[in-house]
Amino acid sequence: MPPGSPATRPVPPNGRPSKSNGPPAGRSISTDLSAHPRTNPIGALNTLIKLLSSLSTRIGRCQYKLTPAEHALSLHLVSILDPYVYQGAKTLSNAVSTHVKPTFVGLVFQPTEILDKIMSYLDSRQDLLNVALCCKHMHDVVFPRHFEYRVIRCKVSSLSVWNHLITNHGLARNVRKLEIIDERSSATTIPKAGGGGLVVPRGIVKRDTDLESTDDELVMHRKQEKYFCRALEEMVGLREIKWSCNHSPISIDHVWPTLVMRARTLDTFDISDNLLFTPRKLEADSSEGGSDSEGEHDSQVNLLPMTSLQKVAFRATRHSYGGSRQPDISRISGMLSRSPDLKSLSISFVRLRSQSGALPRLDDVFDNRWAHLRSLTLIGLRATSASSLGQLLAEHAQLESLHLDISGIHGLVLRSGSLPNLKELYATKEVLSSILETPTDDVRPLEAVRGFKLSGVHATVDGKHADASLFHNLRRYSQTLKCIELVGWNDMDDIRKLSGALPNITHLDVGKRLSPNAHGRGAVQAGPVTNFEEWLEVLDTLPELRALHGIKFFYEISSINLLPPAPNNANLSTPSISASTTHIASGSLHASFGVDAAVAAKTHSQMSLMDRSRIKKNDWTASMLVWRCPKLRRVDHWDDGTSRIIALTRGPAALLTGDLGLDGVEMAPKESNKVRWEVRRLKAA
């Protein structure tokens, strides 16, 4: 019989089994809380281990049960160990014995509240995703509280979202970008290809209908306004606001004080609403009760400085909702006067055809100065003094991008040395000539000129060609100018003179033909241009040209005859052009890109004779274009108003080192000089 069995155990004289010698282990531990100081975590750990290990030695119902005094003691011991649990028992023992400040092992060993605070300094969702992939502990900190709250895109009527942020103040602080879309938008929570879907946190419990307790539309809209403003006040970490809610009954007039208040901590402020250009007196007359107090609060808010604001954009929309016959920018100028550190300013007004009102005056903006301004855009406005505009431009020497499309600036004269750092200019021909004629100490680093028209060969001013001074001024910047975008042109002589003045440009957009002759030579039409030889002569003078827009050189192919996409090794992608959606070319392209020869032959046999002839003609056109302009890589597609272009490639060298950044494809030596063309779709901005 094995030792320790019941038959071999000693039996006391009274016949009852004896208890364990001595008192239970739990009773030998003092339950007095003052006997276990908080400065001795190692002693607390040993006491807790001794207390828990004694439970298994108890008999009967007392086994694995703590008395009330022992339960209070265990909670006291756990509270002592809790601040040190992430540091490790070994580190704590060394710290207690040597009285040295404990060292932290790593980021993941910090308490959760410390990690949550650290994650609040990361604004990018990509950075948060990278941190969350480190371990499960970091994932549990990042995703529930930060990743889904960095960007919120919804409608102003989303009461459930605003109520969720009002209730959870800590989560509202984690919002960095707020985008309010139009109330009539059909966007859903399913993201689209262009990123236009709704983006809301998944932890919202209530729905919008749960919070709409009335059928009165006016009361409901007032409730939406109240919830939105309260939620916006809780977003103390907000960095960017984009408002595109022009058709909501909750207009920007009602929430403007809260928006301006929050703008004190913003970096970007982008508002698209017609009511921005509504006069204040009309706003006060049309508002409901309490308009005086709201206007007083608005004026008080506008007195606060906005030192963190760097990029602002105010735009009117093409919709008639909210339009005014007497627009002004007093609301905007009041905000700009409190933003001294702006780097980008854009004000764009659109006057509808149905409205005959005047344009808003720009004079209030002329009184402001921004030492760090880099980009200035003024569209659809009216200036009563050209000298004030010239003084404004002269005192902003850091400007690099200037877009002027305003009326009342005839005879603009700039001070000598104005705009020395200008790189991009969009203006009419008169304003462009005035700026380029202004002398500077060094030649401006001008790279792009846009928005002007060419007058034609027969237009004269004082016996001289109307564009003679313009071509002379452009020729001074021929070494730096790389991009020219015209609004329109009249004759081929205009293009010839432009190419002669700027032979080193890489991007040319000729715009529309303004006055085509009776035969329609060079006019915008459904088919390719008929004066192809003349365009080849012009391209021969532009050896550095890489992109040409505004002219159609290729025939359109029926969509039912399009070939399937190329295989993996032909998946061409670029930073500025997305992966190819359609591949159209001759048979040589099919073979070189690895398309099955049987499929290509079958598809070619099913094409109509017209499409076969057009493909052959397009092959010849592509070869001629690349022959005359070896670096040309982009021309227009056939359809108007689309984001598609035609990409030209030539041989392995073009695929490997071309401007489009295409992936290399192995091909036979005899095909190394063949030109390929295919339809590409530009990425959405």
Among the residue ranges 69-83, 109-123, 573-587, the one predicted with the least confidence is: 573-587
pLDDT at 573 over 70: no
pLDDT of residue 643: 75
Among the residue ranges 248-257, 307-316, 330-339, 627-636, the one predicted with the least confidence is: 248-257
Give percent of the chain above pLDDT 70.
72
pLDDT at 584 over 80: no
Q: How far are the Cα atoms of 244, 283, 310, 333 from residue 307, in angstroms, in the given order?
A: 24, 28, 8, 16
pLDDT of residue 656: 37
- Which residue, among 266, 280, 344, has the nearest Cα to 308 in the 3D structure? 266
Highest mean pLDDT among 301-315, 420-434, 519-533, 569-583: 420-434
pLDDT at 293 over 60: no
pLDDT at 6 over 80: no
Highest mean pLDDT among 81-85, 115-119, 553-557, 669-673: 115-119
Higher pLDDT, 219 or 685: 219
- Which residue, among 628, 471, 621, has the nearest Cα to 542 in the 3D structure? 628
Name the pLDDT band for 12 (thresholds 50, 70, 90): very low
pLDDT of residue 398: 93
Please state, in angstroms and rounded to a whole number, the distance separating the CA atoms of residues 304 and 317: 28
Among the residue ranges 235-239, 385-389, 672-676, the one predicted with the least confidence is: 672-676
Q: Mean per-residue pLDDT for 138-164?
A: 91
pLDDT of residue 56: 81
Q: What is the pLDDT of residues 86-124, one digit of tens each?
A: 555 455 455 555 555 555 556 777 888 889 999 999 999
- Which residue, among 675, 673, 651, has the nearest Cα to 664 in the 3D structure? 651
pTM: 0.73
For the chain, domains (ranges, CATH) are: 25-98 (no CATH), 107-149 (1.20.1280), 559-681 (no CATH)
pLDDT of residue 660: 40
Higher pLDDT, 416 or 101: 416
Among the residue ranges 131-140, 439-448, 648-657, 665-674, the one predicted with the least confidence is: 665-674
Q: What is the pLDDT of residues 386-414, one digit of tens each?
A: 888 888 999 999 999 999 998 878 878 88
Give percent of the chain above pLDDT 90.
27
DSSP string, 330-385: HHHHHHHTT-TT-SEEEEE----TT--PPPPB-GGGGG---TT--EEEEEEEE-S-
Among the residue ranges 263-267, 631-635, 647-651, the one predicted with the least confidence is: 647-651
Among the residue ranges 272-281, 287-296, 299-308, 435-444, the one predicted with the least confidence is: 287-296
Name the pLDDT band for 683 (thresholds 50, 70, 90): low
pLDDT of residue 411: 79
pLDDT of residue 383: 85
Q: What is the pLDDT of residues 418-462, one digit of tens each?
A: 999 999 999 999 999 999 999 888 889 999 999 999 988 777 777
pLDDT of residue 684: 54
pLDDT of residue 150: 94
Please state, in angstroms and rounded to a whole number, the distance separating the CA atoms of residues 422 and 445: 6
Name the pLDDT band for 572 (thresholds 50, 70, 90): very low
Q: What is the pLDDT of residues 156-192, one digit of tens each?
A: 888 999 999 999 989 999 999 999 988 877 766 555 4
pLDDT at 486 over 90: yes
pLDDT of residue 87: 55
Average per-residue pLDDT for the chain: 77
Is the separation of the CB atoms in 343 and 369 below 8 Å? no
Q: Structure tokens of 621? A: 């056109």
- Which residue, among 321, 292, 302, 295, has the nearest Cα to 264 in the 3D structure? 302
Is the separation of the CB atoms in 276 and 320 below 8 Å? no
Q: Mean per-residue pLDDT for 599-625?
A: 78
Q: Residue 207: CA atoms inside 13 Å, Cβ hemisphere, count?
A: 2
Could you identify the residue written with the tokens 């227009």?
Answer: 636
Please state, in angstroms and rounded to a whole number, the distance separating the CA atoms of residues 360 and 380: 8
- Which residue, among 73, 95, 75, has the nearest Cα to 84 in the 3D structure? 95
pLDDT of residue 533: 92
